[in-house]
Structure 1
Amino acid sequence: MDTDDLLRRGLDWVARIAPYDLAAVFTLDEGSLVVRAARGHLASQVRGHRIDLARFPTLREALETRRARAFTEDDHRHGDGDPFDGVLDLSPGHACMVVPLHAAGRSLGVLTLDRTHCESYPPAVVDQVETYGQILGLALDNAERRVALENLREAELERARELDEVAAGYGVLERSVSPAVRAVAARARQVAPTDTPVLILGETGTGKERLARALHRWSARADRPFVAINCAAIPASLLESELFGHTRGAFTGATRDRLGRFQLANGGTLLLDEIGELPIELQAKLLRVVQEGVVEPVGSDKSVKVDVRLLAATHVDLEKAIARGRLREDLYYRLAVFPLRLPPLRQRLEDLPLLCAAMLAEQSQRTGRRGMRVSEEGLARLRAHAWPGNLRELSNVLERATIVTAGEVLGPEAFELGDMPTGTGPIEPAPKTMSAEAPLQHDGRIATLEEVSALQIQRVLAHTRGRIYGPGGAAELLGVPPSTLQSRMKKLGVARTA
């Protein structure tokens, strides 16, 4: 029901309390009152009628005191006059009532009732209509808030569409000249219109969330919510509540009911990023959601039905995670119905011109530098880099270059592609206990990938003196978000050094 329909029904209902020939709702518009809705056989003559509040002190008084008032013949003859003077030919002695409409401490307008019958409304009727006016005011306020929220949601959806367009350009996808990326885009287009779960694989920084947004944008759920949650960025103790919601009193600090990400994404798409980091104790509950489409909020014994298209993303080798007992095999097969693997940047260097152009255009909103471009010599230098941080690292390199370059052309000298930005010095050699000469442990065996990762994090933390955040921090150097790095450190047992 829209606001105008609500008001029309409200005016029809008030006739049960107080008969009228004309009932009208005026809403405030700066210093005026404007007829928003009208009912009765005189309604067609007053629609759109506007009055200046400055000319009607009694109406201002009604709004300020929030009390209803019935007007007498004397009021009409010697007071402000009638709000419909010049529009309707009503006798001075006709029955007239003004009821203020307000809610949440805010004046919304007035309800007016008029009868051609020359007799004032009785005080008991005025009191009843005043009470009804409070209810109508609350309903009007709720309707306006609902419209405002809907407009905000539409604006957010439009913004999301704009971001998705940027994301599509950022990740190139269908405009890519890389055969590997074009193949991924084609497969993504095939699966997007379905509700089939998709598992997006790829190294950190390859654009997995951007691909997920593209899948949502290409689906029939495009005008519904897209919700993402990073399973590695939220402490395990809070992750269950974040995913499934909780009821008031479910745990200390749960002062109200809260919807989880599955409920927030109802009707739309949910991305479970870094699914390989999901605690094993939550995987059975997630499996039930995937299988049955129901969630059970923390602290509740009731199941809530949800309609969610599920996407998952990870840089972890999930088959190895299964072998190590860190991932349920049955959950893996539920999520990996349609896998998509994004290639790392080093395997799609032919896309550098497109990627650079898209990223520079997107960054111009932050840097204020429009029209920036990379020269051929600059592109040659970028192609020579290994890009361990993939697209995220490229974005950082381009943004730094934009900031320090006076002109619009980024040449090879503009790019800081070492282990540290120019002027901060090389990474210091690691202590002997963390030798990086070869991927060997002191017992002579080959180090595992996790041991090598821990070693690299330790080396970078030693160089940054334990600093994780900000320019030149360990997270930026490693090309990962700070929250992801901290989660990885906790998992690998790496201490933050000072």
Structure 2
Amino acid sequence: MADDIVAVTRAEWHGEARDLIELATSERTVAELLRRGLEWLTRVVRFDLATLFLLREGKLVSVVARGPLASERVRRHELRLADFPSLRQALETRRARAFTSEDHSHGDGDPFDGVLDLPPGHACMVVPLCAAERCYGVLTLDRTECETYPREVVDLVEVYGQMLATSLQEAEQKSNFERLHRREHAHARLLESQLGGDEVGVLETSRAAPVRELALRARQVAETDTPVLLLGETGTGKERLARAVHRWSARAEGAFVTLNCAAIPAGLLESELFGHVKGSFTGATRDRAGRFQMAHGGTLFLDEVGELPVELQAKLLRALQEKTFEPVGSDKTVRADVRILAATHVDLQEAIRQRRFREDLYYRLSVFPLRLPPLRERLEDLPLLCAFLLEEQSRRTGRKGMEVTADGLARLAAYDWPGNIRELANALERATILSRRPELGAESFDVPVRLSSPVRSAPVPLSLAEGAVPTLEEVQRQHILRVLGLTQGRLYGPGGAAALLGLKPSTLQSRMKKLGITRLEQYVATPPPPSGK
């Protein structure tokens, strides 16, 4: 036995087992794992050739070879398992076997016949590589000396074969997990696109200068890890903008995790944010990760953060400042690298005065506030928004090629949209369901007509901002200009400016001349792109 086995300490055995497992879970390939396995085997037992065969469709295919007899022919060698009952028996019994001279003369032949000129009766050992329910292949050891490996050596290498098989199993599981992760990540990105992040294209091409400025500032802050507070009325598209900021950031490949603070009972919010351990409360039957852990390396979007209970705000503040927290029921600190985006329609300054929101948390969240304007302040974007929303809905409803006509746009523009873009999307979806034609005219929409809304939503004149009251002529001129912009300069016919204003075309022309409104062509905007293209 002293001639066949190399002295190795128990510590070295444990160290090699640990190294193999770490190698299996590292970024290296299976080929590197197998090469390292044979390299360490030279420190355990003497051989002239060590070969690793992996099972592939009923064949044992050589993948790695070490030792003086290793050659390119050996590395390309293949064996049909059906031709070697002794190898098949080793895999079935999961026991290593040393071949004797009797086996070589009366058995199923040497696996390297025709490849190596080994003497009859040479030392030969076959070690199965099996873990759990899988057999991955065999390890063969050969020496040119005509003797048999002692049982003690065979048992030792059998244990090593089990270690190597376990490492192969770890590597295979890691590879499968990474493949599933890549597939799920690609699926998640597709869903994000379908959920509306592409609306930022409408922001960047908006006909309203404040909206374009908003998109520019959002792109600038996306390049940092600075917390962003998204403000605006309900339905203005705060989550869409948050998804855009995430996609523009260096964390785009990470997770985008959302939590609506107003949609979850206060008693469960802490668990949702930070997770919990088994037994921490009734119903906690297992450990569960919170949104912070899910968003590690990515972005966490806290919608309606103004509804967060005061008692939970201190723990959120600590998580933001130190990037650490404790799950519910645990005394262990968890670290999470998360970029925070928050949104609310609540007046946080008023909430601070009423002691419903912590001032220090407000300043932590509002490092870079972005306020989304309501739809009534960007009605010139109606054509673009309608085209985008109809295209988005077509992927769900199958109604392709739908578009809003000029009089339909005029009807939509005569409403002040308290529900903003969300309400507009609902109105468009109802219209596509009820309409039998691809053209959605004024009759397709059942929204209330409020002709006074353009006046209320018109840009505030400079004189009014300075405290002066505008004249009646200024108000009329502003109102007519807005309606002309909505109808793209069209005066006559259904949906024309005269019809919307309730005037005869000749009366409108006369009033326009009196107010100094000329050159109708300046109100003709580029039409929105056709739906579905």
- Report if TM-score (shorter chain) is over 0.5: yes
Does 2:380 correspond to 1:350? yes
Partner Cα separation in structure 1 for residue 149 and residue 345 of structure 2: 74
Q: Report the secondary structure of 1:330's partner residue.
A: helix
How many angstroms does 1:60 deviate by? 3.9
TM-score, normalised by the number of residues in structure 2: 0.69
Q: 1:365 to 1:33 in 2, by over 3 A?
A: farther
8 A contact 1:100–1:109 mirrored in 2:
yes
Structure 1 position 360, deviation (Å): 4.2
Say whether residues 1:219 and 2:249 are aligned partners.
yes
Q: CA deviation at 1:338?
A: 0.5
Structure 2 SS opposite 1:10: helix
Deviation at 1:288, TM superposition (A): 1.2
User: SS of the residue aligned with 1:154?
Assistant: helix
The 3 A distance-change label for structure 1 pair 303 and 90 is: same
Q: 1:70 aligns with which of 88, 92, 98?
A: 98
For the residues of structure 1 that align with 2:79 and 2:256, how far apart are their CA atoms? 45
Residue among 132, 140, 150 paired with 1:122 = 150
Asked if the contact 2:200/2:215 (under 8 Å) is kept, the reply is no
Secondary structure of the corresponding residue to residue 118 of structure 1: coil
| Structure 1 segments of 4+ aligned residues over 6 angstroms from their partners | none
Q: Is the 8 A contact 1:198 1:312 kept in 2?
A: yes
- Kindly indicate whether residue 274 of structure 2 is the aligned counterpart of residue 231 of structure 1: no
Distance (whole Å) between structure 1 residues aligned to residue 88 and residue 241 of structure 2 = 57
Q: Which residue of 2 aligns with 1:323?
A: 353
1:200–1:339 CA contact under 8 A, matched in 2: yes
- C-alpha separation in 1, matches of 2:207 and 2:353: 37
Determine which of 170, 180, 185 is the counterpart of 1:152. 180
- The 8 Å contact of residues 378 and 412 in structure 1, kept in 2 or not, is answered as yes
Bigger mean CA deviation after superposition, 5-14 or 359-368: 359-368
Instruction: Find the aligned partners of 2:403 and 2:106 in 1 and give their Cα distance.
Output: 75
Q: Given the alignment, which residue of 202, 209, 222 partners 1:179?
A: 209
Q: Offset at 1:335?
A: 0.5
1:40 to 64, 67, 75: 67
Q: In structure 2, how many angstroms separate the alpha carbons of the residues matched to 1:163 and 1:326?
A: 35
Deviations 1:474-494 (A, max 9, x none): xxxxxxxxxxxxxxxxxxxxx
Which range moves more in the overlay, 131-140 or 78-87?
A: 78-87
SS at match of 1:113: strand
2:315 counterpart SS class? helix
* Counterparts in 2 of 1:159 and 1:414: CA distance versus 1, 3 Å: farther
Give the Cα–Cα distance (whole angstroms) in 1 for the partners of residues 123 and 111 of structure 2.
Answer: 13
| Other-structure match for 2:306 | 276
Q: Residue by residue, what CA displacement relative to the aligned partner does 1:185-244 show, whole Å, maximum 9, x if unpaired?
A: 111111111121111122333322222222122222223333222222332222212222
Q: What is the alpha-carbon distance in structure 1 between the residues aligned to residue 56 and residue 338 of structure 2?
A: 42
Change (3 A) 1:131 1:406: farther
Alignment partner of 1:16: what SS? coil
Match for residue 19 of structure 1? 46
Asked if residue 169 in structure 1 is aligned to residue 198 in structure 2, the reply is yes
C-alpha distance in structure 2 between counterparts of 1:413 and 1:79, whole Å: 90
Q: Distance in 2 between matches of 1:85 and 1:380?
A: 88
Q: Distance in 1 between matches of 2:77 and 2:436?
A: 59
1:371-410: per-residue Cα shift (whole Å, max 9, x none)? 5554545544444454444333444444555556666x24
Q: How many residues align?
A: 418
**Structure 1, 185-194 or 318-327: larger mean CA deviation:** 318-327
* Distance in 1 of aligned mates of 2:105 and 2:427: 78
Q: Are the equivalent residues in 1 in contact too, given 2:228–2:340 (CA < 8 A)?
A: yes
Structure 2 equivalent of residue 247 of structure 1: 277
The one-letter amino acid of 1:201's match is: L
What is the rounded CA distance, in whole Å, between the counterparts of 2:239 and 2:165 in structure 1? Answer: 44
Report the CA distance between 1:415 and its aligned residue: 4.8
CA separation of 1:301/1:401 partners in 2, compared to 1, >3 Å: closer, same or farther?
same
**Do residues 195 (structure 1) and 225 (structure 2) align?**
yes
Q: In the alignment, which residue of structure 1 is the partner of 2:11?
A: none
Match of 1:107 among 135, 138, 147: 135
Checking the alignment, whether the CA contact within 8 Å between 1:70 and 1:96 is kept in structure 2 is: yes
Which one-letter code corresponds to 2:253 in the other structure? D
- 1:312 deviates by 1.0
Is the CA contact (8 Å cut-off) linking 1:164 and 1:217 kept in structure 2?
no
SS in 2 for 1:249: coil
Secondary structure (helix, strand or coil) at the match of 2:253 reads coil
Query: Which residue does 2:322 correspond to in 1?
Result: 292
Match of 1:132 in 2: 160
Give, in angstroms, the shift of residue 296 of structure 1. Answer: 1.8
SS at match of 2:164: helix
Amino acid at match of 1:155: R
Task: Compute the RMSD of aligned alpha carbons.
Answer: 3.2
CA distance in 2, matches of 1:90, 1:372: 79
Give the gaps of 5 or more residues in structure 1: 420-498
Q: Which runs of 5+ in 2 are unaligned?
A: 1-25, 449-533
Contact 2:52 2:64 in 1 (8 A): yes
